Structure formats: structure tokens, C-alpha cells
Structure 1
Amino acid sequence: MVKARPAAGGGRWVQISPERIRGWLDGFYRRHDGATEQGLVLTGVSNGDTATLYPPPGLADAKDVDTLLARIIRPPRIAVLLARKGAVAAGVADGTTITVSKVERFYVQGRTAAGGSSQQRYARRRANQAQAATQRAADIAARIMLPHAPGVVADPHDAISALVCGGDRLMIDAVLTDRRLSPLALLRHPHLLESAEPRLAVLEDAAVTARRIRVHLMP
């Protein structure tokens, strides 16, 4: 499927499923009376419009369109980590199939309107609960994803090639500071997925979204 949204600084982003990328590229060529290719950047002949393709996680070594099209036929194994204040979901995906996963909810107290010492007491309690949730999320990530990391799994061909994260960036950052997760942190993809409250269905949707090719269109 193709999804579009405005891009900061101009142009727009579209996300294209691997099954539709060839057809989309054919359409770009047709609409622009042909195009020139330089790596992963297409420039329309008729008006100079550009399309810059960003490979999905695990395919960063695809540096031109032909290589990208060849590689997306067999999507790499990736890990997916979704986290928000009240929940975490961790899983390993082969293509769009989650093969192993864990979802857990946490209780983190909401903010209070009380003032004075009560407010301070609630703030401390809330901070302690948030810290405990982050630690529990790191434990889950280590148990579910770490056995599939490069250098840990016995067969290198079975190792995950990227870590895709989504949800609350600050919580994700905090989780990945855990030293146990350093092999995964090295594989972190820079694009943060938008995510609803983590649960299994959301994790499965994230595995599908992560496979899409992101394209920046200008103008």
C-alpha cells in the first residue's frame, strides 16, 4: 500500500509496500517522461521532480534501485521494540510474521493536580514506577530479542539485521541504555515508527510497516 504525508522542510513522504514498489517506480517514470537514476535518487526528465528512496531496515547496503528491488524479494529478519509509558512489546519478525514476542503492561501513576508535599510524593512515586517499567522493558527485550542478535545466535544467517523501534523515543532510549542490549542498540534503525499503545496486534502491524520503502518526493 502507499501512504503519504507532508515532509518537514518541503515535499512529502510516501511509504510503499515491497509488493507495489515496481509499479510505483513505473508510474514515476511514466508521469515524468522518464527519469535519471543516481544511486537511490530519481530525477524526472520533464520537470526535475525528485524521488529519494530509503531502504527498509536491514537493507542499508542497497545503494541503487536495482539492488534494492532484488533485495526486498526476501525481507531480512528484524527485531521490533515498541514502548510507551504503560506498555512494551518486543518481537522478532521474519517478513511480516512475528515468530516470537512478548507484550506487557505496566502501571505508572498519572500526574496529579495536588500541590505541596503531596505533589512531590506523587512525583517521586511516579518516577520510581517509570524507572521500574523501563527496567522491566529492558528485561523483556533482552529475553525476546537478544538471542537472535549477531554474535549471539549460532548461525549468522539466522541473526536479525536491524532493530526497529516505535512509540515513545525517550523510553526507547532509556531501555537501550541497558548494557545487555548493546548488540541490539548497534542495529537500531534511525526511523522511529509511530505506534499506538503496544499490544500484539500493534506489534504485528509494525512488522508490516517496517518493510515499506520510504520515499521523499520533491517538490
Structure 2
Amino acid sequence: MSGTGRPVSTSGTHVARARPAAGGGRWVEVSPERFRGWLDGFYQRHHGATEQGLVLTGTSNGDTATLCPPPGLTGVEDVDALLAGLVRPPRIAVLLARKGAAAVGVVDGTSVTGSKVERFYVQGRTAAGGSSQQRFARRRANQAQAATERATEIAARVLLPYRPGAPTDPDETIRALVCGGDRSMVDTILTDRRLAALVPLRDPHLLESAEPRLVVLEEAAVAARRVRVHLVP
């Protein structure tokens, strides 16, 4: 819908978090169930707005809000299509990795329906010098490599049955891969050729993540479903 006639509800504005955006403005993240309320609030604060695709422009001062659909919602070209897509979100996957742990899950809605979490032992840094430092560095590098290899095995075990082209019901396949944690470790995991079908599904936004645990994976599943909005100014 374009113009200034979008209906307004009484649900108010519900923003999950806000942070500065590179190049100006700020990012806010809004949960799907609260997005309509946020949208109504934008219209109220700006005495209406025009819509061009997924960009809202406030009537009162020209402020803009660029809407980024959650991962897996492809082909969404306007606000009404985004609202419709939020009602029945597609299945996605979440991969969280840090040197000390990895968590992988399949997500339906905001529920993790299949997952694996594992911790790894990687020594911390040391202040020792000389040959002891070199031995320690080699040992730590070997442990980090072993952790990455193990995390790769977990990702393959959990996600490959749901990859595009897998011998399963097409409705069961994942539509997006959301990653979080240590970007370099995630990048290394996804170089494994078994996971090649998942790479095109990877969402460019990297989630912030604490040490992966089941509760952290569940929180990431919720965060991955939020609508990201770039507000200027």
C-alpha cells in the first residue's frame, strides 16, 4: 500500500534494540509479532508516510525507514508482502561458532526443532616467552583446528538432511542459513564441500553471540526472525 492511508492500530512501538549504522542513521530490530505496531508508530510520529517498495518516507520531515525482511523471506518487494510473510516464516538454520563451542539448529518459527551443541577445549593465551611460547602457540593452533573440524561435522550432521536438493519433502528444506559468533571460524566451517549447498543460503548479517549453548541458540533463533530497519536520520 502506498500513500498515507495505512490503518493505525493501538499496539504502539516495539523496538528490540537500536545501534548506529555505518554511513549514518541507526539500525533497529523489531520482532515479527510487534512489527505492525512499530509500523503504525512510524506513521503516527511522521503524520503519515509514503511507501516505495520497502522504503518508508515520513510526511512531516522526510525521515526514511528501509525495511530488511528476515532471512528466508525472498521475493518480498513491498510492506504488505512483508507483513504477509511474517505470518508464516520459512524454515531456517542457525550456526553459531566460537573457538570454545559450536551450536547448530533447525528453526521453525522461533522454535529450535533439531539441534546439537558441543563444547571444545582450546587453551587460553599465555604470557610465557621463548620456546615455551612457541610450543604453546602450536598446541593452541592444533586445538583450534580440531574444534573447527568438529564444528564442521556437527553442522553437516544437523543441516545436510534439510539442505536444498536433499532427498526429503521440499517443504522441509531450509530457506536461509543465519550465522553468528566468530566470523573466521564460521567462514572456515562453510568451506567444507559437503556444506556447499548451504553457502548460497547464508544471510550476510552476522549475529552477535555469546559462547554457544542451547539457550544462546534459542535466543539466536528469535533474533534471526527480527525485521531489521535502517532509520535515517
Match of 1:96 among 83, 97, 110: 110
Tell me by how many angstroms 1:27 deviates: 1.2
Q: Which SS does the other structure have where 1:124 is aligned?
A: helix
- Pair 1:53 & 2:67 matched: yes
- Pair 1:72 & 2:80 matched: no
| Partner Cα distance (1:197, 1:154) in 2 | 32
Residue deviations 1:163-209, cap 9 Å, x none? 00011111100111111111111210000001111000000011111
**AA at the equivalent of 1:101:** S
Residue deviations 1:93-144, cap 9 Å, x none? 1001111100000011111111111111111111111111000000000000
- Pair 1:188 & 2:202 matched: yes
Q: How many residues align?
A: 219
| Partner Cα distance (1:20, 1:109) in 2 | 43
| Partner Cα distance (1:19, 1:96) in 2 | 11
Residue deviations 1:41-73, cap 9 Å, x none? 001111000000000000132111111111110
| Partner Cα distance (2:114, 2:33) in 1 | 24
Contact 1:153 1:159 in 2 (8 A): no
| Partner Cα distance (1:24, 1:189) in 2 | 24
| Partner Cα distance (2:147, 2:24) in 1 | 38
- Pair 1:129 & 2:143 matched: yes
The 5 A counterparts of 1:111-190 are 111-190=125-204
**AA at the equivalent of 2:218:** E
Which residue is equivalent to 2:223? 209
| Partner Cα distance (1:115, 1:24) in 2 | 55
Q: Percent identity?
A: 76
| Partner Cα distance (1:6, 1:168) in 2 | 21
When the two chains are superposed, the root-mean-square deviation of aligned CA atoms in Å is: 0.9
User: Structure 1 regions of 5+ residues with no counterpart?
Assistant: none
Q: Which SS does the other structure have where 1:180 is aligned?
A: helix
| Partner Cα distance (1:52, 1:98) in 2 | 29
- TM (norm. structure 2) is 0.92
User: Structure 2 regions of 5+ residues with no counterpart?
Assistant: 1-13
- TM (norm. structure 1) is 0.98
| Partner Cα distance (2:56, 2:74) in 1 | 18
Tell me by how many angstroms 1:153 deviates: 4.2
